[in-house]
Amino acid sequence: MNLLEVKGLTKRFGGIVAVNSASFDVGKNEVVGLIGPNGAGKSTLVQLLMGIIKSDSGEVRFNGKDITRLKAWQVVRQGVAGTFQCTKPFLRLPVFANVLVASSAWKKPGQNGEASMGKAMSVLKKVGIPHLAKLPASQLSHGDLKRLEIARSLATDPRLLILDEPFGGLNYNEIELLSDLVKKLRKQSEEDHPTENSGLSMIIIEHKLSELMKIVDKVIVLNYGEILAFGTPEEVTKNEAVINAYIGEEGI
């Protein structure tokens, strides 16, 4: 059984079919890229997965359970967490407090305050910014703000992490560092949970294709709400329809 199974997912906004009968799977510990031209339906698709908006038809199964009709907070409880294109931390609060808000809001039954604080520190270590814990979020660089946003998502104990344009606004160096973090998170999850029913899968929306292709196992290409291609980076970048609709002749 795959961790995430999406079948025939469709969302209309008035006359626009933003997502048109999308079907795909994401496996355990798998990192999947989601690409396509502006307006292709990428953000709509992940918001459907997160329960932020409701589909018109189709089904989303997570870990074997039908989550199609769950509310956004219930979807988080099932283990799906997303960051958004815009990072929205509490700027005047210290980094640690920003993560503590998430770890205590999504605490497990019986998890006391101390455990929530421990959790907050452990996710800050995971994303590589424990030394910034006491700084107000307003003093972080753009790259560290992205790390903070990922830490807040990780504090909810997700099994699927959804990143919407994580490289947006970052310089080359910051992109390399964030790519390394994604690789590290997946390696860690594979080492921690080689066979069990846990670990971390990711869906990453990104326009910076050459960087994205280095960190994903598979790529979904959306075009006018439809899945144009779904395969390994190599398969997708050779696909004629994808080249015509998105990548262009010059390649990535």
**Least separation, in Å, of the C-beta of 39 and ligand ADP?**
4
Token readout for 139 is 């003093």
Q: Which of 9, 33, 35, 43 binds ligand ADP (CB under 6 A)?
A: 43
Q: Which of 27, 39, 169, 231 binds ligand ADP (CB under 6 A)?
A: 39
- CA dist 142 and 247 (Å) reads 27
In the structure, how many helices (H) and strands (E) does the chain have?
9, 10
Side-by-side strand order, sheet with 226-231: 80-83, 160-164, 201-205, 31-35, 218-223, 226-231
Q: Which of 20, 29, 43, 237 binds Mg ion (CB under 5 A)?
A: 43
Smaller CB separation from ligand ADP, 22 or 213: 22
Residue span binding ligand ADP (CB under 6 A) among the ranges 10-18, 103-111, 114-122, 235-243: 10-18
**Least separation, in Å, of the C-beta of 18 and ligand ADP?**
3
Smaller CB separation from ligand ADP, 60 or 140: 60
Radius of gyration of the chain (CA): 18
**Least separation, in Å, of the C-beta of 62 and ligand ADP?**
20
Q: What does 38 bind: ligand ADP, Mg ion, none (CB cut-off 5 to 8 Å by kind)?
A: ligand ADP
With beta carbons less than 8 A apart as the criterion, state whether 144 and 185 touch.
no
**Least separation, in Å, of the C-beta of 158 and ligand ADP?**
21
181: enclosing H helix or E strand: helix 172-192
Q: Is 56 in the site for ligand ADP (CB under 6 A)?
A: no
Smaller CB separation from Mg ion, 157 or 206: 206
With beta carbons less than 8 A apart as the criterion, state whether 123 and 154 touch.
yes
Q: Is 18 in the site for ligand ADP (CB under 6 A)?
A: yes
Number of residues this chain uses to bind Mg ion (CB under 5 A):
1
Q: Which of 22, 29, 33, 44 binds ligand ADP (CB under 6 A)?
A: 44
Smaller CB separation from Mg ion, 124 or 163: 163
CA dist list (Å): 96 to 32, 92, 105, 173: 29, 12, 14, 25
Please identify which residue in the block is written with the tokens 């960051």.
83
> Angle 200-204-206 (CA atoms, 0-180°, nearest 5)?
160
Residues contributing to the site for ligand ADP (CB under 6 A) = 13, 16, 18, 36, 38-44
